[in-house]
Structure 1
Amino acid sequence: MTSNRTEYSTRIRDAVAHREPGRSLPAPFYTDREHFDLDLAAVYGRSWVFAAPEAEIPEPGDYLTVDLGPWSVIVVRGGDGEPRAFHNVCRHRGSRILTEERGSTGNIVCGYHKWTYGTDGALRHAPAQPAGFDRSCFGLRPVRLRAVAGLLFLCLADRTPEDFDEVAARIEPYLRPHRLAEARVAVRSDLVEHGNWKLVMENNRECYHCDGHPELLRAYFPTFGYTEETVPPPLRPVYERSCRADTELRQRLDKLGVPHALIEEADGRATGFRVQRSALDLAGESMTPDGTAACRRTLGDLPDTRLGDLSLHLQPNTWFHACADHAVTFSVRPLAPDRTLLRTTWLVHPDAEEGTDYDPGTLTKVWTATNEQDAALVARAQRGVADPAYLPGPYAPNEHQVEAFCAWYLDRLREELQR
């Protein structure tokens, strides 16, 4: 067994050391169970991971469970209104406590032997214990949780990435106008993609394939990732139109005091991120088939409906889009080397009424179609990287964010292998 571990460690160290920058990862990174298990430990076990929007747990006692590989975490809003996170493991004999994906409770009760915990994690009741039993020693084990402008992030590591406070401070002004902490969940959707979690993330980090997204390209300019020097001739007219729209948008946002400048630090740091507000096509209001707002009520303090798209990417598992009328959150959770859960959540104004202020079909049409199209592309990619004929291929210039993701990911593996 020790020999097998040593051989595995040597193989993966060699694979990390010899990966050629600017090319896709070698096949084992996408297909092998050993690599998958290392990903869970090195990436999901040590990074700040997006769990859910705060809107998922609006009231005291509301909870959800977040499964990340072997870990299960309870995220609950306490009686004092504060969200907290705990390992979903009973302190008696280790039973899984909550088995439902979400719900509401006054106390957290283990269904095995009825050990009962408060929403603050303290052990309230343990039946038939001897005299002198000290309940204070057996509270739920906490998990670090941070709320950033209505978005909940958790970290399973004892030592968390030190740069998260800085990143939170830099992205919070972009999110603040939308007041997502006060928003309401309109629609939630789960989609299991038949591909490695990294293929899901890589696919999201480029628009080289966006001609496969006709719904998205109705309102979203297909020039994501291109520059003046790299945009191909067929896209030149669209690129120039997007530049004019962006110039107009920036002028409007400057008058309103809404931040919009690109910050791109997706690699070279523990908490890689990218944030920017950019123009939308057609009516320019929202990510809908005609670009008009999908909800009559604007989010938060936004006084104008033509405020473009706030896009935020954070490594390792999430991206967000927020328009004046609604926001969409995406969470990527590994299930197996070749299966990944994508959870998409649409948020609207807390007082928005379905059927009056918004139609769920219109609200979700673009991203539902785009997610399904991406799932098919990811499944094709998974079948391809598993083929013995696969060799890592070169990234195009407009796939630089894919390279940044891979560079960030490999840095996490190097850190883990050095422990």
Structure 2
Amino acid sequence: MPALPLSPADLRAVLAPLPSARPLPARAYWDEDVFAFDQAEIFGRSWVCVGREDEIARPGAWVLAPLTPAGVLVLRGADLEIRAFHNVCRHRAATLVDGACGRLAQLACPYHGWTYELSGALRAAPHAPPGFDRGAHGLLPARAGALFGFLFVALDPGAPPLESALGGAPPWLARPELRSLRRGRRVEYEVAANWKLCVENFQESHHFPRVHPALERLTPCDDAVSWGGGGPWLGGIMALAPSAETVSLGAARGARPLIVPEAERRRVRDAMLFPGLLTSLQPDYLLTYRLTPRAPDRTLVVADTYFHPAAFTPGFDPADVFAFWDTVNREDRSICERQQRGMRAPGYAPSTYAAVEDGVHAFDRWVAERYLAALGAGAP
């Protein structure tokens, strides 16, 4: 991999205490070599969220995670174990499945018919030569697991075990009852901006008054408090405005059941799992955003909304929630794309963090530490 074209001095400036720190250098958001590093050394060495466990509840159910050009197939085996495999036939590298999800009794290559069991073992290899060892040519595995109802994949065989790697999670996401939530909608879209800008935007709320006036009325940014429990997690807690029951067009929960304890119904709890899972726990629904870097200036976002299972009765219509967040997501996409365009301006250099951007600073520190380690420079 080419050397990172970043200055150790610029990166060390990110690690300074917040009042004197400078944000990441602009080149970190548009350079091809930096992007390649982010893919290989940040996403490629982390446990990455690829969905929810209920998406593969039945044997043979699978989802295709866009972590590589071919994708990674995450499935439920006949023994109910969760497994992940590179979506590549061992014969001549044809991809095995298309689409985002499905259910199969076995995996068959559409090119020459090599067939694999749900365990990844090669079952049939038409016209293979005598003595060919099918046992040595099963699907190429990746590591997979589930935690807090989320599915995770690690491409790095040396990554720490899932539970230890994701230690320090916010207590509100660890509640067992959240595992039973049902998805009400999925939306996929692309942001013409670097993935780090998308995370940084999530990590602060003082843009609400100018970018999200409707959201500011329901969750005023002056009431935001940062949270950090350790490990790869950052978060924040915001109070609902006195007139609001939830965050939606009408600010009313209606008949939707709470998914949080009664004592916590007046709070919104956000959490980011490094590098690319963003979550927002509302009183009556959960938002998740999964980020996949596609280019230095392009990020795929998969946005899901989950509700209490009891909400799904005849006449259930959460259009007030969906419409509200469609607007907010468009506003976020637009402001991140403005930043991306500005990063290439001749002479632009970052100046400082605002005093309320401690969450952005914390995220940037994690990124800068990885860049410095790759440069062999380390922290001061």
Tell me, yes or no, whether TM beats 0.5.
yes
Residues 213-362 of structure 1 correspond to what in structure 2 (within 5 A)?
213-223=212-222, 262-265=227-230, 271-275=231-235, 278-282=238-242, 285-293=245-253, 296-299=256-259, 302=261, 306=265, 308-353=267-312, 356-357=315-316, 359-362=317-320
The match for 1:88 is 87
The match for 1:196 is 194
Match status 1:52 vs 2:78: no
Q: Aligned to 1:415, what secondary structure does the other structure show?
A: helix
Paired with 1:322 and 1:130, the residues of 2 have a C-alpha distance of: 56
Cα drift, residue 217 of structure 1 = 2.3
Give the fraction of aligned pairs with identical amino acids, expressed as a percent: 33
Distance 1:277 1:398, change over 3 A: closer
The match for 2:204 is 206
Cα drift, residue 384 of structure 1 = 0.4
Paired with 2:69 and 2:47, the residues of 1 have a C-alpha distance of: 17
1:207–1:224 CA contact under 8 A, matched in 2? no
The match for 2:179 is 181
Structure 1 window deviating more from structure 2 (280-289 vs 186-195): it is 280-289
Normalised to the residue count of structure 2, the TM-score between the two structures is: 0.87
Match status 1:11 vs 2:11: no
Deviations along 1:356-381, one digit per CA (max 9) or x if unpaired, are 23x14223233221111000001100
Instruction: State the AA in 1 paired with 2:100.
Output: E
Cα drift, residue 165 of structure 1 = 2.4
1:55–1:180 CA contact under 8 A, matched in 2? no
Match status 1:370 vs 2:328: yes
Q: Aligned to 1:23, what secondary structure does the other structure show?
A: coil
User: Number of residue pairs matched?
Assistant: 371
1:295–1:363 CA contact under 8 A, matched in 2? no
Distance 1:9 1:16, change over 3 A: farther
Distance 1:10 1:404, change over 3 A: closer
Instruction: State the AA in 2 paired with 1:188.
Output: R
Paired with 1:417 and 1:77, the residues of 2 have a C-alpha distance of: 40
Instruction: State the AA in 2 paired with 1:318.
Output: L
Instruction: State the AA in 2 paired with 1:286.
Output: T
Residues 396-415 of structure 1 correspond to what in structure 2 (within 5 A)?
396-415=354-373
2:70–2:88 CA contact under 8 A, matched in 1? no
Paired with 1:142 and 1:315, the residues of 2 have a C-alpha distance of: 23
Task: Give the RMSD, CA atoms, in angstroms.
Answer: 2.8
Instruction: State the AA in 2 paired with 1:349.
Output: H
Distance 1:10 1:281, change over 3 A: closer
Cα drift, residue 351 of structure 1 = 4.8
Q: Aligned to 2:309, what secondary structure does the other structure show?
A: coil
Q: Aligned to 1:397, what secondary structure does the other structure show?
A: coil
Instruction: State the AA in 2 paired with 1:375.
Output: R
Instruction: State the AA in 1 paired with 2:275.
Output: P
Distance 1:10 1:197, change over 3 A: closer
Cα drift, residue 80 of structure 1 = 2.8
Paired with 1:415 and 1:187, the residues of 2 have a C-alpha distance of: 40
- Which ranges in structure 2 are unaligned for 5 or more consecutive residues? none
1:189–1:343 CA contact under 8 A, matched in 2? yes
Paired with 1:13 and 1:382, the residues of 2 have a C-alpha distance of: 20
Cα drift, residue 295 of structure 1 = 5.8
Cα drift, residue 10 of structure 1 = 6.7
Distance 1:90 1:224, change over 3 A: farther
1:121–1:139 CA contact under 8 A, matched in 2? yes
Q: Aligned to 2:62, what secondary structure does the other structure show?
A: strand
Cα drift, residue 287 of structure 1 = 2.4
Paired with 1:77 and 1:12, the residues of 2 have a C-alpha distance of: 42
Paired with 2:146 and 2:254, the residues of 1 have a C-alpha distance of: 27
Instruction: State the AA in 2 paired with 1:128.
Output: H
Instruction: State the AA in 2 paired with 1:404.
Output: A
Q: Aligned to 2:357, what secondary structure does the other structure show?
A: helix
Distance 1:60 1:408, change over 3 A: same
2:168–2:232 CA contact under 8 A, matched in 1? no
Instruction: State the AA in 2 paired with 1:274.
Output: L
1:293–1:305 CA contact under 8 A, matched in 2? no
Distance 1:92 1:179, change over 3 A: farther
The match for 2:27 is 28
Paired with 1:298 and 1:126, the residues of 2 have a C-alpha distance of: 52
Structure 1 window deviating more from structure 2 (125-134 vs 152-161): it is 125-134
More helix by share: 1
Normalised to the residue count of structure 1, the TM-score between the two structures is: 0.80
Deviations along 1:96-144, one digit per CA (max 9) or x if unpaired, are 2222122222212221222222222222222122333322211112211
Distance 1:167 1:281, change over 3 A: farther
The match for 2:346 is 388
1:280–1:291 CA contact under 8 A, matched in 2? no
Instruction: State the AA in 1 paired with 2:203.
Output: R
Cα drift, residue 69 of structure 1 = 5.0
Paired with 1:51 and 1:139, the residues of 2 have a C-alpha distance of: 23
Q: Aligned to 1:371, what secondary structure does the other structure show?
A: helix
Instruction: State the AA in 2 paired with 1:210.
Output: F
Q: Aligned to 1:330, what secondary structure does the other structure show?
A: strand
The match for 1:125 is 124
1:144–1:155 CA contact under 8 A, matched in 2? yes
Structure 1 window deviating more from structure 2 (14-23 vs 322-331): it is 14-23
The match for 1:241 is none
2:167–2:232 CA contact under 8 A, matched in 1? no
Cα drift, residue 76 of structure 1 = 1.3
Instruction: State the AA in 2 paired with 1:329.
Output: T
Distance 1:120 1:418, change over 3 A: farther
Structure 1 window deviating more from structure 2 (103-112 vs 301-310): it is 301-310
Paired with 2:123 and 2:308, the residues of 1 have a C-alpha distance of: 37
Paired with 2:68 and 2:136, the residues of 1 have a C-alpha distance of: 27
Distance 1:218 1:56, change over 3 A: farther
Q: Aligned to 1:384, what secondary structure does the other structure show?
A: helix
Instruction: State the AA in 2 paired with 1:89.
Output: V
